[in-house]
Amino acid sequence: MKTNSFNRTIPFLKSFAVFQMILIHTFMFVGSTYRINLVETFHFNKWKLLIINGFVTMALPAIAGAVLAFNHLNSKRRDPKQYLKLFLFLFLLDSLVVFLLEGLLSSIFVFNVLGFIGLSLFSLEYLSQKGTKWIYVAAILCLIANPLFESLRELLTIEKGGAWLNVKDNIYFKLRISLFLVLTISTVAIHKLFEINNKLKFIILCLNTLLLLTLYNSYLYNTHYLMSFLNLPIGLLIGTKNSMHNWPFLVWFPVTSAGYLIFNRVNTRKNSNWQDFSFFVLCLLYFLSYTFIRLDTVYLSNMSKMSLISKKIFQADSLNVMVVIAFFTINLKIVETFIDKIKFLSSLSVRQLSRWILPIYIFHIVYLYHMTRALKTVIGPGWSILILSLSAILFSIILAKVLDYYFHNKKIELTFTKVK
């Protein structure tokens, strides 16, 4: 694949992932809201193709890695600090989404897909400046260490009533230590990153005070959210047994790395068609083998019957991670082959959906969550899935077109004037 085809291939994969996200989240919210067994009601065990299409969403981090590689090939490198700021921003966006769903300050500070992509991009930018070989090393080490993660989750997860928090006085003591560390580290880190002045330091201290009150309120009314916050470091890295954190970094970083490395290798080697084809065939054979051998025994058995996703899906083993990489490679090759033959694949609507995937992600999650609860008292689950999925797709297309009309190719300049 040549870099000049990138602007057509990757946008289609991103826009296709938008439809998959909407479809999967529609089933997820309807199943959990109506409390029905989706697998039995809609015969998901027979419709393997629909489950396989869910891999499109799981492969989104690989697309993010490919975008970064494309930027590097076009001499668009940034200071890793810029991506660290991006990670913090995306992490806060994830927390905002949870807040818009739950409506509770105590439910914020969770690690999800946006934070994972931000942290992965920061890591890739940093490692690529040291040398591409270090990306290979990091990704391979993550795959090799993966079997150890389950034991580490059992050992390190903080649980109320467990050895780490076995008495009430102890939990207050540990909580005070944790909050003091959060207050100190976040203040110092933000000061170093953003070169803030004393007024902003005061604002940050106020925000940290709000954080303390939020967590105290969380402990009084919902211990689950407190445990989720205390488990954030381990949840961010490898996942936990019982908290809200998804997309653990060390589990899924090989997927983001694969997107970066595949795109970088294909576009920096000359006369490599045979190697590319061999790699494609290898990925295809592995994916087909997985589909017929492990999809039923491993993937479907770990799938929640009411929401189609579960902790086991996100805390994937190395074989599951590699099948997502293989699926991304197959899709990349297929789309690149037909991108010039089917005009729709590179249409304006496709590019618009791709360009505004972040606001679409936030919109459709919030829309589906609240509309599912509104429709529960009116219609059944089948009609809810049909109405919600089609309306969410329609509104996402409209949102992309509106944002594209008002913001694409328009520069916004901010001028700061010192007032005496």
- At 272, which amino acid appears? S
Q: Would you state the pLDDT for residue 360? A: 92
Tell me the helix, strand and coil percentages in the chain, rounded to 5: 75, 0, 20
In contact, 374 and 43? CB cutoff 8 Å: no
Q: Would you state the pLDDT for residue 142? A: 93
Q: Would you state the pLDDT for residue 253? A: 94
Stretches in the chain below the pLDDT threshold 70? 1-7, 39, 42-54, 103-108, 159-226, 243, 268-275, 295-308, 340, 342-346, 348, 408-420
What does the alpha-carbon distance between residue 70 and residue 76 come to, in Å, rounded to a whole number?
8
Quickly tell me which residue has 């090759």 as its tokens: 333
Torsion sign across C-alpha atoms 90, 91, 95, 98: positive
Q: Would you state the pLDDT for residue 386? A: 92
Q: Could you report how far apart the first and last alpha carbons of the chain are, in Å?
A: 57
CA dist 413 → 194, 197, 356, 410, 416 (Å): 20, 23, 20, 10, 10
**Angle at CA of residue 407, ends 404 and 411, nearest 5°:** 145
What does the alpha-carbon distance between residue 137 and residue 130 come to, in Å, rounded to a whole number?
12
- 214-268: per-residue pLDDT in tens? 555 555 555 666 677 777 788 888 888 776 788 899 999 999 999 999 888 777 6
Residue 266: name the closest of 336, 343, 341, 339 by CA.
336
Q: What is the pTM of this model?
A: 0.79
In contact, 214 and 175? CB cutoff 8 Å: no
Q: Would you state the pLDDT for residue 372? A: 92
**Residue 307's CB: how many other CB atoms inside 10 A?**
18
Exposure letters 45-57 (e unless 16+ CB within 10 A, then b): eeeeebbbbbbbb
What does the alpha-carbon distance between residue 120 and residue 221 come to, in Å, rounded to a whole number?
34
Q: Would you state the pLDDT for residue 254? A: 94
Helix (H, G, I), strand (E, B) or coil at 414: coil
What does the alpha-carbon distance between residue 36 and residue 24 come to, in Å, rounded to a whole number?
15
